[in-house]
Structure 1
Amino acid sequence: MTTEDDAATATVAGVTVSTDHWIGGRRIASADRFDDISPIDEQVIARIARGTAADADAAIAAAQQAFPGWAATPPAERARLLHRVADLVEERVEQLAIVETTDNGALLRSHLRGVMPRVAHNFRFFADYLVEHLHHPDFDTRGHRNHVSWDPSGVAVLITPWNAPLMLATWKVAPALAAGCTVVLKPAEWSPLTASLLADITAEAGLPPGVFNVVQGLGEEVGPALTGHRGVSRISFTGSVPTARLIAASAAANLTPCSFELGGKSPFIVFADTDMESAVVNAVEQYDNAGQVCLAGVRLLVEASVRDEFVERFVARAQGLRQGDPRDLATDIGPQVSREHFDR
Structure 2
Amino acid sequence: MADKIIVGGVSVDTRHWIGGRRVASAETFADSSPIDGAVLGEIARGGPGEAQAAVAAAKAAFPGWAATSRGERARILHAIADGVEKRLEELAIVETTDNGALLRSHRRGVMPRVAHNFRFFADWLLKLGHEDFETRGHTNHVSWDPAGPCVLITPWNAPLMLATWKVAPALAAGNTVVLKPAEWSPLTASLLADIAAEAGLPAGVLNVVQGYGSEIGDALTSHPDVRRISFTGSVPTAKRIAGSAAANLTPLGLELGGKSPLLVFADADLDLAVDLAVEQYDNAGQVCLAATRFLVEETVAEEFTRRFVEKAGQLTQGDPRDEGTDIGPNIHPRQLEKIDGFVQRAVADGARVVIGGQRKDAQYYAPTLLTDVAQDSEIVQEEVFGPVLTLQTFSSEDEAIRLANDTRFGLAATLVTGDPERAERVTAQLVAGTVWVNCFFVRDLQAPFGGSRLSGVGREGGTWSFDFYCDLKNTVTAPNGWSRNHG
Fold conserved between structures, TM > 0.5? yes
- Residue 223 of structure 1 aligns to a residue in which SS? helix
**2:44 corresponds to:** 49
**Which one of 13, 22, 26 corresponds to residue 27 of structure 1?**
22
Q: Compared with structure 1, are the counterparts of its residues 36 and 289 closer, same or farther at alpha carbon in structure 2 (3 Å cutoff)?
A: same
Partner of 1:58: 53
Question: Partner amino acid for 2:286?
Answer: Q
Aligned-residue offset at 1:14 = 0.2
6-15 vs 302-311, greater mean Cα deviation: 6-15
In structure 2, distance between residues paired with 1:167 and 1:44? 23
Q: Does 1:171 align with 2:165?
A: yes
d(CA) in 2 for partners of 1:205, 1:185: 18
Alignment counterpart, residue 71 of structure 1, candidates 66, 72, 76: 66
What per-residue deviation string (whole Å, max 9, x for no partner) do you get for residues 212-266 of structure 1? 0001011111110000000100000000000000000000000101010011111
Match of 2:42, as an amino acid?
Answer: R
- C-alpha contact 1:21 1:214 (8 A) present in aligned 2: yes
Structure 2 counterpart of 1:124: 119
Matched ranges for 1:132-281 at <5 A: 132=127, 134-281=128-275
1:110 is matched with which residue? 105
* Matched residue type, 2:196: T
State the Cα distance separating 1:82 from its structure 2 match.
Answer: 0.3
Which one-letter code corresponds to 1:187 in the other structure?
P
**Whole-Å Cα distance in 1 between the matches of residues 261 and 192 of structure 2?**
34
Report if the CA contact (8 A) 1:7-1:29 is conserved: no
Q: Would the aligned equivalents of 1:7 and 1:27 in 2 still touch at CA under 8 Å?
A: no
Contact 2:2–2:42 at 8 Å: present in 1 too? Answer: no
Counterpart position of 2:445: none
Contact kept in structure 2, 1:7 and 1:20, CA below 8 Å: no
**Counterpart position of 2:3:** 8
Aligned AA for 1:264?
A: G
User: Partner of 1:321 in structure 2?
Assistant: 315
Alignment of 1:81-100 (within 5 A): 81-100=76-95
For 2:254 and 2:231, the matched residues in 1 are separated by 5
* Cα pair 2:18 2:54 within 8 Å, conserved: yes
Retained in 2: the 8 A contact 1:228–1:250?
yes
**Aligned letter for 2:167?**
V
How far off is 1:137 after superposition?
A: 4.2
Measured in 2, the distance between the counterparts of 1:67 and 1:264 equals 35
Counterpart CA distance in 2 for 1:241 and 1:299 is 19
Q: 1:3: which partner in 2?
A: none
Question: What SS does the aligned partner of 1:148 have?
Answer: strand
Over alpha carbons, which structure has the higher Rg? 2
C-alpha separation between the residues in 2 aligned to 1:96 and 1:278? 33
User: Are the equivalent residues in 2 in contact too, given 1:10–1:45 (CA < 8 A)?
Assistant: yes
Is the Cα contact below 8 Å between 1:196 and 1:214 reproduced in 2? yes
2:302 corresponds to which letter in structure 1? D
SS in structure 2 opposite 1:343? helix
> Deviations for 1:279-334, whole angstroms, at most 9, x for unmatched residues?
11111011101000011111000011111111000011111100110010100111
Deviation, structure 1 residue 135: 2.4
Q: Could you say if the C-alpha distance between residues 7 and 180 of structure 1 is closer, same or farther in structure 2, counting changes exceeding 3 Å?
A: farther
Partner of 1:39: 34
- 1: distance between equivalents of 2:306 and 2:222? 52
Matched to 1:103, the amino acid is D
Task: Give, as a single letter, the amino acid of the residue that structure 1 aligns with 2:212.
Answer: L
* 3-state SS in 2 of match to 1:151: strand
Aligned to 2:283: 289
Counterpart residue identity of residue 38, structure 2: Q
Distance in 2 between the 1:74 and 1:139 partners? Answer: 25
The residue identity in structure 2 corresponding to 1:157 is V
Amino acid at match of 1:156: C
Unaligned runs of 5+ in 2: 339-487
- Contact 1:108–1:328 (Cα < 8 Å) also in 2: yes
1:26-70 CA-to-partner distances (Å, cap 9, x unmatched) read 000001000000011101001100001000000000000000000
Unaligned 5+ segments in structure 1 are 1-5
Q: Which residue of 2 aligns with 1:309?
A: 303
Query: Which one-letter code corresponds to 1:9 in the other structure?
Result: K
Question: What percent of counterpart residues are identical?
Answer: 71
| Residues 162-181 of structure 1: per-residue CA shift (max 9 Å, x gap) | 00000000110000000001
* Bigger fraction of residues in helix: 1
- The Cα shift of 1:71 comes to 0.4
- The number of residues matched between the two structures is 338
Distance (Å, rounded) in 2 between the aligned partners of 1:293 and 1:341? 13
* CA distance in structure 1 between the aligned counterparts of 2:37 and 2:282, rounded to whole angstroms: 21
C-alpha separation in 1, matches of 2:311 and 2:210: 40
Letter in 2 for 1:285: E
* 1:2-44 residue CA offsets vs partner (Å, 9 max, x unmatched): xxxx870110000000000000000000010000000111010
Deviates more, 1:152-161 or 1:264-273: 264-273
